[in-house]
Structure 1
Amino acid sequence: MGTPGNTEANVKSAALARVADATGNWVDTLAPPWSRPYLRLARLDRPIGSWLLLLPCWWSAALASALAHDVSRLPLTVALFCIGAFAMRGAGCTWNDITDRDLDAKVERTRSRPIPAGQVGVGQALAFLVAQALIGLAVLLQFNRFAVVTGIASLAIVAVYPFMKRITWWPQIVLGLAFSWGALMGFAVILGQIGLPALFLYAGSVAWVIGYDTIYAHQDTEDDALIGVKSTARLFGERTHRALIVFYSLAVVLIGVAIWLTGAGFPAWLGLAVFAVHLGWQIARLRIDDPALCLRVFKSNRDAGLLLFAGLLVDAVMRAA
């Protein structure tokens, strides 16, 4: 048993410990030491996932506003979606870390996460999950009743996702269903309904998520094989580039149908074209045997999504003028 001095040093060391794939960020350098394990649970040291959850929300809000020829509610909706996406992605990641704590301890990239590293206990993580979920609920309650019900419906998919990698070679589909839910939410908030444009946008976003998360999963294929975790990265293997062509092409086509159904103008189509070029660039650049490059290509999807949003936003503003 260690002395009190050693225990204090160990606690301090745990608080300062950095997650293997997220070094040199503001959490590591600026956040108070006591808060760092919780901020890491919420992935605020790696906000890319929050961006990827947020972007379909913004796409749908812009498309729905264009369809309504009214952008007066768009600024507040965009801001609330931003808060909600960061809160709910944090809650989802905390839930993922609770359920995956034994698997994370066996993988080089994830064993330094707060729970397997001993920085946070499961009870503390659960309490933090509830706090983040309450923030998300507070945001959701700012919308109409249909949007509230639509948002709550997504929780079932979020709850089962962490277990899918143990069951199916296609956990990326379930992640896509969860991360693309925002493609429905914009229409639910702005129009109070979900029609064909929302469904096609949702389907296109799901295809996009399957593609980029396959790239992300290639960081862990060796460890995943050792511990029996399944993924599309392991399923596709050397065929990954061909699979990405299929899923990214499907994403562009389906999102294009959603844009067409809303009667969008040139800016929206230009945004989609630039989005498509970016996805093609990702496929050309990707090397699945280079984990660092896989991570960089995966993160670049934020830029791809923002380019599409810019086109949809300009189109919405022009149509409302």
Structure 2
Amino acid sequence: MTGNNQTPEAVGENAGQVADAYRGNWVDRLAPAATRPYLRLARADRPIGTWLLLLPCWWGLMLAMLSDGRAGWHDLWIFAGCAIGAFLMRGAGCTWNDITDRHIDGSVARTASRPIPSGQVSVRGALVWLAAQALVAFGILLTFNLAAIALGVLSLLPVAVYPFAKRFTWWPQVFLGLAFNWGALLAWTAHTGRLEAPAVLLYLAGIAWTLFYDTIYAHQDAEDDALIGVKSTARLFGENSPRWLRWFLVISVSIMAVAVILAVPDGRPLALLVALCGPWAMGWHMQWQMRQLKLDDTSRLLMLFRSNRDAGLLPVPFFAVALLL
């Protein structure tokens, strides 16, 4: 359903609701009517993307603290600042994505109800909203050290390129992974002041994880994408997707484990053992997803994609406990 062609039943608090948003989400229930199209444009009604952008930040920060054995009040701000920044930059990224994809989105059933193709937000209004979100996020970035600020500015490159990737490569999920896992590099550097090997490995593990969950997500649109010529790993792999997903699972967990081994100092074997339970637990959840996978069941695909919030959260308590040992 688009914003320009709503049934009478849709008019009211749920008018303009996006097809793949949670029903009864806080935007539809609580946000002032005038703000809803902009909040939907930023995906505030679909928090999973914020989680997927945030969790690599928390991994990087916690492994950095494990690495040098330091934890201070500024780390609490990095922890919170990454959360606020993830919300804002995910919103800015989605706004940019919808501006560039407005013609494609109108041709795909799941995305035709988004604010721009449905006529709820103009392109000019979306650009202003994009700038507002990015400027507030930049203000947060300025509270970090210079190396982290430089990395934050550099992150705009993969963010800018990603929406166009599906036009020229079968692997747009790689470009999404480059953008969505940048926080592992940034948060590590915000704590230590320098970029080091464990952070880079954590970044690579996150990219493999993104290939896992976004291939699952892309299978929802595989038929529509084929009709309009949009590329994705879901279309590339087709019925062989489960085999590829298992490889992404193994690669993600293995590289994260190596990052943990390099990050935890010698002489702390118990901390290392507990921290290594993090990637193991995440891999267990990803394997659970594989057992539930049905490529022709769109509702299950969406459920599994959303469940990656839990998969990515699983390392966090293990890293936290390891910090105390």
- Deviation string for 1:187-233 (max 9, x for gaps)? 11011111111111111110000110000001100110111000000
Alpha carbons 1:15, 1:119 under 8 Å: kept: no
Give 1:305's aligned residue: 312
Q: Is 249-258 or 16-25 further displaced after alignment?
A: 16-25
- Deviation string for 1:72-118 (max 9, x for gaps)? 13322110000000000000000000000000000000000000000
Give 2:36's aligned residue: 36
Cα distance, 1:123–1:39 mapped onto 2, change above 3 Å: same
- Deviation string for 1:13-53 (max 9, x for gaps)? 69821101113211112111111000001100001001000
**Consecutive aligned runs of 4 or more in structure 1 exceeding 4 Å deviation:** 12-15
Q: Figure out how many residues of one structure are paired with residues of the other and give that number.
A: 308
Alpha carbons 1:278, 1:304 under 8 Å: kept: yes
**TM-score, length of structure 2 as denominator length:** 0.92
**TM-score, length of structure 1 as denominator length:** 0.93
Give 2:236's aligned residue: 235
Cα distance, 1:293–1:48 mapped onto 2, change above 3 Å: same
Alignment of 1:126-275 (within 5 A): 126-263=127-264, 264-275=271-282
Unaligned runs of 5+ in 2: 1-7, 265-270
Distance 1:183 1:288 in 2: 30
Shift of 1:284: 1.2
3-state DSSP of counterpart to 1:265: helix
Give 2:99's aligned residue: 98
Distance 2:190 2:242 in 1: 37
Structure 1: which amino acid aligns with 2:250?
S
Alpha carbons 1:168, 1:230 under 8 Å: kept: yes
Give 1:278's aligned residue: 285
Structure 2: which amino acid aligns with 1:246?
W
- Deviation string for 1:118-145 (max 9, x for gaps)? 0000000000000000111011001001
Q: Is 307-316 or 198-207 further displaced after alignment?
A: 307-316
Alpha carbons 2:13, 2:29 under 8 Å: kept: no
Alpha carbons 1:248, 1:279 under 8 Å: kept: yes
Q: Is 183-192 or 14-23 further displaced after alignment?
A: 14-23
3-state DSSP of counterpart to 1:16: coil
Distance 2:263 2:26 in 1: 40
Give 1:4's aligned residue: none
Distance 1:117 1:15 in 2: 14
Alpha carbons 2:105, 2:112 under 8 Å: kept: yes
Structure 1: which amino acid aligns with 2:317?
A
Alpha carbons 1:14, 1:117 under 8 Å: kept: no
Give 1:5's aligned residue: none
Alpha carbons 1:201, 1:254 under 8 Å: kept: yes
- Deviation string for 1:221-277 (max 9, x for gaps)? 011011100000010111111000001110000001100001252221122211110
Structure 2: which amino acid aligns with 1:267?
V
Give 2:17's aligned residue: 18
